[in-house]
Amino acid sequence: MSRLGPVITLAAGAVLAGGLGVASIIATPAANTTAAAPENNPAAQAPAAEENTAQPSPSPTQSEEKRIEKADYAGRVKGNGALIAISIRDGKAVGYFCDGRTEAWFKGGQSADGVSLKGVGGGQLTAELGDGQAKGRVSVAGKQWSFAAPTAVKPSGLYRATALVRGAQFRAGWIRVKNPNGGYTTVGAASEGGSPVPVPELNGDQPTAPLTVGDTTIYPKDVDGFIEEMQ
């Protein structure tokens, strides 16, 4: 009995130690399994969600960042006496130069902080946009002038009309600019069948009111009504 006692004791200790070892081995994989399966652990998913929300969205291009949805400019051409107007709608731009005798239409697009427009019949118009004005140069019939056109507020701005008059295509354009001391200056030009004709006078209070040319009623439009036709 004295010899069996220690043996039994050692055996019991070995069994106990073995049991604890098995328990430890079983418990450890269970903890690892939980850590390796984040889909079963909402708390483990939080860092992934934070990482996704921190991802920067693609940066827009410079032209998209600065594309102008709507702007109107109208002013005087230096050293010429003509008026000039530029209008932009959603990145599309039109321009008009007129001194009552010579006229020129321009079209193109706005990019970054300026416009570069080509003349419908030749010439070019370029301007920088900023500080509430369009400032640049315009070339017509081989001559070039500079201008600074401030922001235009209706009824200032650009107007145009087209119609079939006496069987020929009638076109007219007007620029209306507010005078520093009050009132407005309006300059325009018209053609019928490609030949110059007297330009009808816009209604001072409502520039888009109908006008009569010969026996035909024409309807002047502001830029919103004709810019798509010019592109």
pLDDT at residue 58 in the model: 47
Task: Indicate whether 175 belongs to any domain.
Answer: yes
- Are 31 and 127 in the same domain? no
- Are 32 and 82 in the same domain? no
- Are 46 and 85 in the same domain? no
Domain count, the chain: 2
pLDDT at residue 112 in the model: 83
pLDDT at residue 138 in the model: 98
Task: Indicate whether 58 belongs to any domain.
Answer: no
- Are 162 and 95 in the same domain? yes
pLDDT at residue 27 in the model: 36
HEC string of the chain?
A: CCCHHHHHHHHHHHHHHHHHHHHHHHHHHHHHHHHHCHHHCHHHHHHHHHHHHCCCCCCCCHHHHHCCCEEEEEEEECCCCCEEEEEEECCEEEEEEECCCCEEEEEEEEECCEEEEEEECECEEEEEEECCEEEEEEEECCEEEEEEEEECCCCCEEEEEEEEECCEEEEEEEEEEECCCCCEEEEEEEEECCEEECCCCCCCCCCCCCEEECCEEECCEEHHHHHHHHC
> Which residues span the domain enclosing 12?
4-53
pLDDT at residue 65 in the model: 52
- Are 67 and 49 in the same domain? no
- Are 86 and 138 in the same domain? yes
- Are 156 and 176 in the same domain? yes
- Are 136 and 189 in the same domain? yes
Task: Indicate whether 27 belongs to any domain.
Answer: yes
- Are 48 and 70 in the same domain? no
Q: What is the pLDDT along the chain (231 residues), one digit of tens a residue?
A: 444 343 333 333 333 334 333 333 333 333 333 344 444 444 444 444 444 444 544 444 444 557 899 999 999 999 888 999 999 999 999 999 999 999 999 999 998 889 999 998 889 999 999 999 999 999 999 999 999 999 999 999 999 999 999 999 999 999 999 999 999 999 999 999 999 999 999 998 899 999 999 999 999 999 999 999 988
Record the pTM: 0.72
pLDDT at residue 23 in the model: 32
- Are 36 and 131 in the same domain? no
- Are 69 and 39 in the same domain? no
- Are 49 and 69 in the same domain? no
